[in-house]
A and B are shown apart, each in its own frame.
Chain A
Amino acid sequence: MTGQDNVEPLVVLHPISVDTRSPDQVGMLVLVNGLLVAVLVRLDAPWHDRPGAWHMEAGLGRLAGVRAPVFDTLKDATRWVRQRLRG
């Protein structure tokens, strides 16, 4: 049991196209230990304040209904996911 707490969860990103009814279509499935926990989408539409940043379009499990910040990089996004799932 103690061992399990110390193991960093395995976060895997898997590219996917997402329908957001906008030009933002480039997405990533976020899998933690093999389970889908979030769908990220890159903000490619020119009107966004932070074009190129990543938005959590949907969360599942412990991320369901959570309003996440917008992330500058995928690395920031995965760090946030790890923190949320650890807490």
Chain B
Amino acid sequence: MQDALIRKLESFEELSDADRAALRAFVPRVRNVPARTDIIAEGDVPGDVHLILDGYACRYKMLPDGQRQIMAFFVPGDFCDLNVFILDEMDHSIGTVSPCKTVEIPRAAIEEITAHHPQVTRALMWCALVDGAILREWLVNIGSRQADQRIAHLFCELLLRLEAVGRVTDNSYAFPFTQTDVADTMGLSDVQVSRTLRELRALGLIHLKHRVLTILDVDQLKAYCGFNPNYLHLRNARWSSRRQVPWLSSVQGV
């Protein structure tokens, strides 16, 4: 069940058998959360850390005029609130998009595993840093890309993130988001989203049916929106040799 998490962490750091065993012992409370349900709401006191094992969730904020802004999507293997649990009060909400299987990990368990498994700690830090990087990219997306490129960019990102946790088959993945979800994520209207999806279909770049999105031409779609996966920091897309930090070894050797 924790395979998605282990796969995700291993895409950032090499884990030992002991690390993997510690992660497998993680299980505690598995919860099935229906679609469109808050896992934790704005104003709540965060306690446990929530890990998505199956399904999709999102981080969002409601504005006084009823407008919703989605700031992040969570896919299997993602922590919803890895660092948030340190805060006193949630400043945003986390809710499911599709039915989710989540794991609630008590803060103490995170503290325990990070105290004894430095590679896991590093991998968790990677996760938190990549979350930040994704947020930056989304800022760029909303601020500087046209509507059709924004949505194409999101499709490319989800392809890579889901691929990293084994949820892509033949360039197809589950896409339970409504047009309104996409609109609330991209700062667009439902109508603009609807037109853009039509256009991407007409260009032969995507196929979307029965809540499954198929990317028909990955290279073309990436070129279409200028997608650069560097911000996802995935092992297979990375400069692994540069991560050896030889300067650090030499300092330690002195």
A68: chain B residues at CB < 8 Å are 189
Question: How far, in Å, is B38 (CB) from chain A's closest CB?
Answer: 22
B interface SS class: helix
Complex alpha-carbon distance, A57 and B199, angstroms: 17
A interface SS class: loop
B198: chain A residues at CB < 8 Å are 22, 45, 47
Interface residues of A in 46-87 (CB under 8 A from B): 47-49, 55-56, 67-68, 70
B190: chain A residues at CB < 8 Å are 49, 70
Question: How far, in Å, is A14 (CB) from chain B's closest CB?
Answer: 21
Is the Cβ of B191 less than 8 Å from the Cβ of A55? Answer: yes
Residues of A within 8 A of B (CB-CB), count: 14
Is the Cβ of A21 less than 8 Å from the Cβ of B67? Answer: no
Give 24 CB contacts A-B under 8 Å: A20-B195, A21-B195, A22-B195, A22-B198, A22-B199, A24-B191, A24-B195, A43-B191, A45-B195, A45-B198, A47-B194, A47-B198, A48-B191, A48-B194, A55-B189, A55-B191, A56-B189, A67-B67, A67-B183, A67-B187, A67-B188, A67-B189, A70-B190, A70-B191
Chain B residues close to A by CB (< 8 Å): 67, 183, 187-191, 194-195, 198-199
Known: A21-B195, A67-B183. 12 other contacts (CB 8 A): A20-B195, A21-B199, A22-B195, A43-B191, A45-B195, A45-B198, A47-B198, A55-B189, A56-B189, A67-B67, A68-B189, A70-B190
